[in-house]
Structure 1
Amino acid sequence: MSGRAQLMWDEAVTGYDFGRGHPMDPVRLALTMRLVEAFGLDRAPVEVVAARPAGESTLRLVHRADYLDAVRAASADPAVADARYGLGTEDDPAFRGMHEVSALIAGQSVGAAEAVARGDALHAVNFAGGLHHAMPGGAAGFCVYNDAALAIARLLELGVERVAYVDTDVHHGDGVQAAFWEDPRVLTVSLHEHPRTLFPGTGWPQETGGPGAEGSAANLALPAGTGDAGWLRAFHAVVPELLGAFRPQVLVTQHGADTHIEDPLAHLGVSLDAQRAVALACHTLAHEHTDGRWIALGGGGYAVVDVVPRAWTHLTAVAAGRPLAPETPVPEEWRHEAFRRTRQPAPHRMTDGVEPRWRDFTEGGYDPADRLDQAILATRRAVFPAHGLLP
């Protein structure tokens, strides 16, 4: 067993709804929870907990007061949404109750942080979270409040001295990086599609942290088209060594499912099986470096039937200490529920039928002409020396 595990869930988080036709369809959250329940992952040893919404003082740990005021105003009357704060835009249209449900999602991640910091749980999962693009003063990329940054800020407030954040979403974790750009207590590591080809256009390897926090940010910009072998090679070439050097006390990870080959908004070629492999790797790294203290969040992911529910159910199962074998059949009742809600056929097994494989970067050598290896080397050369590591 991996120890005590909490799953943060309140059905009201499905009210985070930008409207018909928006890619961030809240059905992905409902279907994930229904699949978790179908596998019995909501029962002991997992404790399902609904935390309170994040309050003003908590939200102010990351977000500016004027931005919070703008969100509340747009939440009460979407017609007054202020685009200067990223509200009322195509990506982040305003909707009634936006502040309340955004604060609720943030509260789940903050609650996870509190549970882990206080020893009430060893692992905590909030797959409704991972809204990593929200900035201190603005909404961006479907994200209103940055629950990942708020969870980290709460950990620091509770006395945690070093927090590592590993973001495997296809998009750069720009909002979390920005929140801790000058804070050497937080290491942010982001693996994402190259900024030349994908929003938000940041996350270059040269982005390594602000004054007094040099080396606190690591960015691995992957070429479009990168598949399982390259994605896993990149993860293992950077993340374990940096965590070993940084010696975090808590690990926070973001597991956007939009790296998947079927995701409609990005251009990587990763399988569900590789996503499961990274969840397992993060679990192992937590036990190696943080005595198991691990907070796992969701993120992006827009293949709302085929990919997202399975990916985050695997994540929940790993955190619960009950990992699901890839060949496990998807429960028939869940497949019927998915079709009823979406009119899309659902997958039959918890796998894409792929066995993830990769070549180890440090042992197997590298190809200086290969674009993926060039990306890995660029990151290692930019960040590793700041941690006393050889690039």
Structure 2
Amino acid sequence: MADDTVVVWDEALLTYDMGDHPLDPVRVELTMALARELGVLDRPGVRLVKPEPADDALLTRVHDPAYLDAVRAAPRDPLFAGFGLGTSDNPVFDGMHEASALIAGATVAAAEAVWRGEARRAVNVAGGLHHAMPARAAGFCVYNDPAVAIARLLDLGAQRIAYVDVDVHHGDGVQEIFYRDPRVLTISLHETPLALFPGTGFPDETGGPGAEGTAVNVPLPPGVGDAGWQRAFHAVVPSVLRAFRPQVLVTQCGADGHRSDPLADLRLSVDGQRATYRTLRALADELCDGRWIATGGGGYALV
């Protein structure tokens, strides 16, 4: 019998470490420690899987080969510049390619486990690096693990994949990569781009030629709390997913919409975020026979 949930985990995922930086790997370490303390990982039907790094064939499904070369070369060159690397958002660090490829491989492992029926749900809490572009690092993200996993699902035969992003920032990298692919629906709820990075995610971004209507953006003003968020979510997400009829649901569950997060201005509570995740699970059960791949993302309030 398939496991209910696969948790893809290895301590080596903590090596995605930019030093003195908001995206501190301790957020992932504490998440796993709390899960162990609460007995979540010991529940029946939960299985831990150790990931392997994504190889170049997987990474180049969404990233340019020259960009991979740059990510490998940058730590060896103190004067390296370009490709979005070496900035305050994306500082260069030792082992950058290896750590980034492992995160991508972990999300791919989660996707493969679900698609092949080995689990109904799978999670990579270290993933969710949704800002990375095909040839550029951005927003703390080097390789776009959700996009790599979606590309892998397409290669395995999926025809309708829904990606729902509830991070406080617009899921711009995933949207950009699949903007012209009608097989992938991207939905993002986020703080308005008028007030927050990355400055995209307006309602009129609806999909490219041949894929019109497959990008859905719900920007919210600063100060929105649980009630406003839930109203927006339920007004849009369930009906759009039901119309699209996805075979599998992929989500980016960044916690940085929390009211204590210092880098953004939404006012969600832990209970409000939990309600969103419970709804996503119910939608996956209703529409995808439970097939749900979840990734982590930003979140600094509790670190």
Structure 1 partner of 2:203: 205
Instruction: Give the SS at the match of 2:196.
Output: coil
Contact 1:131 1:143 survives alignment (8 Å)? yes
How many angstroms does 1:302 deviate by? 1.2
Structure 1 partner of 2:17: 17
State the one-letter code of the partner of 1:156.
Answer: L
Matched length: 301
Partners of 2:240 and 2:300 in 1: CA distance: 30
Partners of 1:168 and 1:62 in 2: CA distance: 22
TM-score calculated relative to the size of structure 2: 0.98
CA RMSD of aligned residues (A): 1.1
How many angstroms does 1:80 deviate by? 4.2
Structure exhibiting the larger radius of gyration computed from Cα positions: 1
Partners of 1:304 and 1:131 in 2: CA distance: 19
Structure 2 partner of 1:33: 32
Structure 1 partner of 2:275: 277
Structure 1: tracts of 5 or more residues without a match: 306-391
Runs of 4+ in 1 over 6 A off after TM superposition: none
How many angstroms does 1:78 deviate by? 5.0
Contact 1:27 1:304 survives alignment (8 Å)? no
**1:238 aligns to 2:243 (yes or no):** no
Contact 1:164 1:187 survives alignment (8 Å)? yes
* Percent identity of paired positions between Structure 1 and Structure 2: 63
| Matched ranges for 1:1-391 at <5 A | 4-20=4-20, 22-43=21-42, 44-75=44-75, 77-82=76-81, 84-305=82-303
Describe the superposition over 1:107-145 as per-residue Cα deviations: whole angstroms up to 9, x where unpaired.
000001111111111100111000000000110000000
Structure 2 partner of 1:389: none
Contact 2:224 2:266 survives alignment (8 Å)? yes
Structure with the larger strand share: 2
Structure 2 partner of 1:340: none
Partners of 2:162 and 2:80 in 1: CA distance: 34
State the one-letter code of the partner of 1:49.
Answer: V
Contact 1:73 1:80 survives alignment (8 Å)? no
How many angstroms does 1:40 deviate by? 1.6
Contact 1:261 1:267 survives alignment (8 Å)? yes
Contact 1:181 1:216 survives alignment (8 Å)? yes
Describe the superposition over 1:286-311 as per-residue Cα deviations: whole angstroms up to 9, x where unpaired.
00110100001111111243xxxxxx
How many angstroms does 1:79 deviate by? 1.2
Instruction: Give the SS at the match of 1:123.
Output: strand
Structure 2 partner of 1:363: none
Structure 2: tracts of 5 or more residues without a match: none
Instruction: Give the SS at the match of 1:243.
Output: helix
How many angstroms does 1:161 deviate by? 0.7
Instruction: Give the SS at the match of 1:125.
Output: strand
